[in-house]
Structure 1
Amino acid sequence: MGWTLAIIAALGIGGFFGLQYAIARNGPAVLDLVDRASGGARETKLLVRHVFGDSPAQKLAVYGPAAKTAARPVLVFSHGGSWRSGDPDDYGFFARAFVPEGFVVVLAGYRLHPEGDFPGMLEDTASVIAWTRANIAQYGGDPDAIFVAGHSAGAYNAVMTALDPQWLAREGLEPGTVAGAIGLAGPYDFYPFDSDSTRTSFGNAPDPARTTQPVAFVSAEAPPMLLLSGERDTTVKPRNSRALAAKLEAAGVPVDLRLYPEMDHYDILVKTASPWNDRRVVDAVREFALPIAATRRAEAMPSVPVQRELR
């Protein structure tokens, strides 16, 4: 179900018209409110807010556990909204879903249309990754285990930044900075442009088939990816995830494609929030990222020299 049906199911229809208005204006903010009211803080704490540019949209927020722990893998999450709307401040529910699973979560903002048209959204995503790499250790995150994630337009930002090395390179980062990419209902193969949002955000890009499409940048150097999509998604059709997964598999890149027959475009994100929590979505992310993070941690540990036996 979409924003409307999901939230009405939880709150009842007593405030139907007021709720309809609130959802139409900002569905994620209403979802965040319901999640906080029904699920509580879940020992998740806002650790810092940071502004990384002159635009009000160029901001991020870091969430972690209320108590100090060992360094955790990091999820850098980019919100959806057709590159025209959205605010990371409305996605606290995503942090409250994944901090209890062992992550530090960075909710990433980016410039929106028209200021953030291609490649602005990618420049900003790379800037957030660079800030995370340089600063996340002081907030309990592991800078060697950064995973980029996103929903819808945000999934495009995350996956494209992970695939096209120029955006991280402009921030002085190596491609290996990203340990893995996680796309929820993302557009990865959407040229020719057939919607207002894609035409306005990408229509002025030079040679758009080659410069704007994630499927055009798949190579053997791509990081592992988890691609989640609902079979009932008519906003960003699941063929996008299938097409990218096929390209990654052909290139020898580890990819986990999970399709959910009963979910639509919004379900896959709503299922990370209380009271609609669906362990399939949360577990898919955890099962994908935590083993990669553990392997990276083991590879980064200095070897202990073996003392020669004395005779």
Structure 2
Amino acid sequence: MSWGRRALLAGLSALPAACSPATLLNTTVPRDGYTREADIAYGPAPRQKLDLYRPETPQPDGKVVVFFYGGSWDSGSKDDYLFVAQALAAQGYTVVIPDYRLYPEVRFPAFVEDGARAVRWSADRFGVDRLVVMGHSAGAHIALMLAANTPYLAAAGVDRTRLRGAVGLSGPYDFLPLTSARLIDIFGSANDPRIEAITFARAPLPPALLIHGTADTTVLPRNSINLAAAWRAAGAPVELKLYPGVGHVDVVAAMADLLSGRAPTRTDVLAWLETA
């Protein structure tokens, strides 16, 4: 699995080869309508920092989206995801985008624990009942591991059952057995069910929105299909959106104005957030 910037470059191959796709997307993003506070520490480690985006005209109910980016658990930067933050802040949502520790500095479950600490920071600032956890790819794995019936948020001092909801874009939730030596090293096993959100899809669960492209060969669509079925079986509200012919990276890239025509991600996410 090669996600994050490398995958984004491949997924946006139609753009000029000399441009960094994330940089190009972010240069098209309006700088008005929100304020950004950068590099706020939520823990002592160098990568335990987050960016906070505050809309000038917030939603009346004060919803906050905590967004975890992808990168195969070994790459990525919050600085690349201004386009996601702006798409949400422009509609009145406060957005938190954390960095988290990466392999090989750490292995599972450290990056999930960092996610829990970032949610704790957000809950302390805004209240847990306003929070939606959201992520793409490896970040969706983190978000849904936090939303599922796991102990990570409780260990960080957050009541998981009070989350407003969870949104997963192209996430790996039911992906065993692992065959990549690198991923086996990241997770410590080729076939440990404790690394998958589907193992913990047990009541009580918050509402969820799962989005996947049917042309995704990086994280197969069955991950979202199977997790949606498990969420439903646990009696929790879930919406599953499958985009015909859409690949792994285009699902998140379509959050940007420049590429919004590639998939209805932004429309579907905003519609779901409105009623969450």
Report the TM-score when normalising by structure 2: 0.89
Tell me, yes or no, if structure 1 residue 288 matches structure 2 residue 272. Answer: yes
The C-alpha deviation readout for 1:196-225, integer Å capped at 9, x for no partner, is 4421211259x722x211111011201111
Q: Please give the alpha-carbon distance, in whole angstroms, between the structure 1 residues aligned to 2:8 and 2:196.
A: 28
Q: Please give the alpha-carbon distance, in whole angstroms, between the structure 2 residues aligned to 1:281 and 1:181.
A: 15
Provide the secondary structure at the position in 2 that maps to 1:256. Answer: strand
Name 2:222's counterpart in structure 1.
239
Name 1:130's counterpart in structure 2.
120
Residues 253-268 of structure 1 correspond to what in structure 2 (within 5 A)? 253-268=236-251
Tell me, yes or no, if structure 1 residue 217 matches structure 2 residue 200. Answer: yes
From the CA coordinates, give the structure whose radius of gyration is larger: 1
Alpha-carbon spacing, 1:256–1:8, altered in 2? closer, same or farther (3 Å): same
- Does the CA-based 8 Å contact 1:57-1:87 persist in structure 2? no
Counterpart code for 1:199 = I
Q: Please give the alpha-carbon distance, in whole angstroms, between the structure 1 residues aligned to 2:197 and 2:30.
A: 37
Alpha-carbon spacing, 1:118–1:288, altered in 2? closer, same or farther (3 Å): same
Q: Please give the alpha-carbon distance, in whole angstroms, between the structure 1 residues aligned to 2:117 and 2:270.
A: 25
Q: Please give the alpha-carbon distance, in whole angstroms, between the structure 2 residues aligned to 1:148 and 1:69.
A: 17
Alpha-carbon spacing, 1:71–1:291, altered in 2? closer, same or farther (3 Å): closer
- Does the CA-based 8 Å contact 1:75-1:103 persist in structure 2? yes
Q: How far is 1:5 from its partner?
A: 6.3
Aligned length: 269
Name 1:171's counterpart in structure 2.
156
Identity of aligned residues (%): 36
Q: Please give the alpha-carbon distance, in whole angstroms, between the structure 2 residues aligned to 1:144 and 1:119.
A: 25
Moved over 6 A (4+): none
Tell me, yes or no, if structure 1 residue 57 matches structure 2 residue 57. Answer: no
Q: Please give the alpha-carbon distance, in whole angstroms, between the structure 1 residues aligned to 2:76 and 2:223.
A: 22
Name 1:3's counterpart in structure 2.
8
Q: How far is 1:66 from its partner?
A: 3.6
Q: 2:102 aligns with which of 107, 112, 127?
A: 112
- Does the CA-based 8 Å contact 1:80-1:151 persist in structure 2? yes
Q: 1:200 aligns with which of 171, 181, 185?
A: 185
Q: Please give the alpha-carbon distance, in whole angstroms, between the structure 2 residues aligned to 1:250 and 1:260.
A: 23
Tell me, yes or no, if structure 1 residue 180 matches structure 2 residue 165. Answer: yes
Counterpart code for 1:151 = H
Q: 1:88 aligns with which of 63, 74, 78?
A: 78
Q: Indicate the RMSD between aligned Cα atoms, in angstroms.
A: 2.2
Residues 9-158 of structure 1 correspond to what in structure 2 (within 5 A)? 9-10=14-15, 12=16, 16=17, 18-19=18-19, 23=20, 30-31=21-22, 33-66=23-56, 70=60, 72-136=62-126, 143-158=128-143
Alpha-carbon spacing, 1:215–1:7, altered in 2? closer, same or farther (3 Å): closer
Structure 1 unaligned residues grouped into runs of 5+: 24-29, 137-141, 293-311
Structure 2 unaligned residues grouped into runs of 5+: 1-6
Q: How far is 1:99 from its partner?
A: 0.6
Provide the secondary structure at the position in 1 that maps to 2:185. Answer: helix
Alpha-carbon spacing, 1:76–1:197, altered in 2? closer, same or farther (3 Å): farther
- Does the CA-based 8 Å contact 1:110-1:116 persist in structure 2? no
Counterpart code for 1:94 = V
Alpha-carbon spacing, 1:81–1:36, altered in 2? closer, same or farther (3 Å): closer
Alpha-carbon spacing, 1:192–1:73, altered in 2? closer, same or farther (3 Å): same
Alpha-carbon spacing, 1:146–1:9, altered in 2? closer, same or farther (3 Å): same
- Does the CA-based 8 Å contact 2:178-2:184 persist in structure 1? yes
Q: Please give the alpha-carbon distance, in whole angstroms, between the structure 1 residues aligned to 2:11 and 2:223.
A: 25
The C-alpha deviation readout for 1:100-143, integer Å capped at 9, x for no partner, is 1221110011110023311101110100010001113xxxxx64
- Does the CA-based 8 Å contact 1:219-1:248 persist in structure 2? yes
Q: Please give the alpha-carbon distance, in whole angstroms, between the structure 1 residues aligned to 2:148 and 2:46.
A: 27
Name 1:307's counterpart in structure 2.
none
Alpha-carbon spacing, 1:187–1:250, altered in 2? closer, same or farther (3 Å): same
Alpha-carbon spacing, 1:7–1:218, altered in 2? closer, same or farther (3 Å): closer
Alpha-carbon spacing, 1:80–1:68, altered in 2? closer, same or farther (3 Å): closer
